[in-house]
Amino acid sequence: MIRFSLFFTFIVILSGPSVFGQSDHNISEFVQRFFVDKGAIERKLGLKNTHEFVDRIDVLIDSWDEKMLELDYDDLTLSEKIDYQLLRNRLEKERFFNRQLRSEIDQLASWFDFAEPLREFIVQRRRGGAVQPREIADLFHGTKLQIAESTKKMEQKPGFTSWQDAARAAEMADELRTHLEWAFDFYHLYNPDFSWWVEKPYQALNEKLENYAEALKEHFDPSLQVDDGSGIFGRPIGSEALQAELRSEMIPYTAEELIELAWKEFEWCQEQLKKSAKKMGYDNYMDAIEAVKHTWVDPGDQPQLINYLAEEAIEFLEERDLMTIPELAKETWRMRMLSPEMQRVAPFFLGGEQVQIAFPTSTMEHELKMMSLRGNNPHFSRAVVHHELIPGHHLQQFMTNRYNTHRRSFYTPFWIEGWALYWEMMLWEKDFARSPEDEIGMLFWRIHRNARIIFSLKFHLGEMSPAECIDFLVEKVGHERANAEAEVRRSFEGRWGPLYQISYMIGGLQMIALRNEIVETDLMPEKEFHDRILHENFMPIELLRALLKDDAPPRDFKSNWWFVDYLE
């Protein structure tokens, strides 16, 4: 005991009183400690859909706000100030999302008036508290009867106003059931008296909870779900929520301004498409797009095409010495084919270390096969492959796993998708296209990313329905209808947030603006500029701008970068 106490005292002395845990600055560890603290709380409390959880997270955020105030901001280096701003922004995000979670818990509380005693049992289990098996058996039996009664009365209770609310309630029921199972398993078999009393009541309760979750999932008012014929039921979040999301991503524009920006870029794409179409002998660019769609490869040949396109992009970049591409990054990517089910929401490619290829399968209906063939033709795919692999997502993932790794927790799609989109635009400027057909393929994706801004923001503002979004993609961009439906479904029913679809082009335009400020003014060579972006890891691009321009943000920094100059 004495030896342990002396050792502990020695460690405390070494740690010192600094908020960094050591005498000199180590803000990367300081940043990481917030996420470690939050993770520890999440693992300890487990049940996230409770007031216990949101109250504890509020305390955590408040304590870290205080820690931030203790730092001598003026004494930090530029890179440390960027980390400070990243953590400060993240704390604001956490507070915002925690308020949202609290609101959801309060709104759905009436559906779980039976749950509190079960939660108390789950909490007691965390530290192995002693239980009275007979009392637990009575509790489980009584709760089973309560849930059965609640399920029976559900028909008389108004349904949820959307399928998302119904799904959220079902998710809460499933979370409760999962944690109840873990608590039961902790005592079951290890406490024979517990098993004798509780096993059967638990099994009956577990079944009722499972059925209750299924009933909740289906309990929404279909009359409030306006089916416009698309079968896609999203939920517009409205202007106020959109603006809050934009602030959290350090985008100072309004949704309406971003729509205006997208229309200007959309019109530029149309003019370029007309020029490329004329080179192919077409007066209407939609006719040229249709012709390009008919250049598909035979079944079984798509993987070989992807290999060729991947090597082609790497060779183009290295010949022009545009960036550093590690040999291991070139070696370690791989591929797999997307399932027919996945292609319902991802009709093209997905990427990273493993590129996931969209191509028709033998099980698809003939019409869907043909649409997939046309939508994944070589000229469309040529722009997608470098977006997903190198210099796009695979190279990003490779670098973020190796440099400034403490920033990986500050993930933002505007950095992720913006970088990949930036390269689509840069390769266009550097004449990567070998033919008018290649130009059509590159421009198809560029106009599509602008269309995403327009239809997704208009949907969330209540100005476009899913069916109108699909028609827009078919008639103005040139999508196959099945692919357009998948795109819209991905936007409004997928796991992506409301800003994800706008992050491609907006992030790309931010990167282009940053390049114009730094490379075009000779502040930094082009290759160094590209390497620095990948080495600095995730962050809002406005903070990346401050870092690369050696322009330290003030402690009370607010987003104010107007990265395009053609909006009045």
pLDDT digits (tens, 9 = 90+) for 452-494: 999 999 999 999 999 999 999 999 998 889 889 988 988 888 7
Give the SS3 label for residue 324: coil
Give the pLDDT band of residue 306 (cuts 50, 70, 90): confident
Does the pLDDT value for residue 24 go beyond 80?
no
Specify the pLDDT at position 344. Answer: 66
| Tens digits of residue pLDDT in 230-283 | 878 778 899 998 999 999 999 999 999 999 999 999 999 999 999 999 999 999
Q: Are 557 and 85 a contacting pair, CB within 8 Å? A: yes
Span between the terminal Cα atoms of the chain, in Å: 72
Cβ count near 270 (within 10 Å): 14
Is 11 a residue whose pLDDT tops 80?
no
pLDDT tens-digit profile of 319-371? 999 999 999 999 999 888 777 777 666 666 677 787 777 777 777 788 777 77
CA angle 489, 491, 494 (to 5 degrees): 70
Task: For helices 500-518 and 413-429, give the axis angle rounded to 10 degrees.
Answer: 60
- Percent above pLDDT 90 for the chain: 73
Of residues 349, 368, 351, 352, the one with CA closest to residue 360: 368
Q: CA nearest 317: which of 538, 520, 544, 530?
A: 530
Q: Are 262 and 464 in contact (CB under 8 A)?
A: no
Q: What is the dihedral sign for C-alpha 253, 257, 258, 262? A: negative
pLDDT digits (tens, 9 = 90+) for 398-431: 999 999 999 999 999 999 999 999 999 999 999 9
Residues 90-146 have pLDDT tens digits of 999 999 999 999 999 999 999 999 999 999 999 999 999 999 999 999 999 999 999
**Structure token pair of residue 82:** 């960027």
pTM across the whole model: 0.87
Query: What Cα–Cα distance (Å) separates residue 352 from each residue in 374, 388, 493?
Result: 24, 6, 22
Q: Residue with structure tokens 């960036």?
A: 323
Q: Given this model, what pLDDT does residue 250 score?
A: 96
Please provide the average confidence, as pLDDT, over all residues in the chain: 90
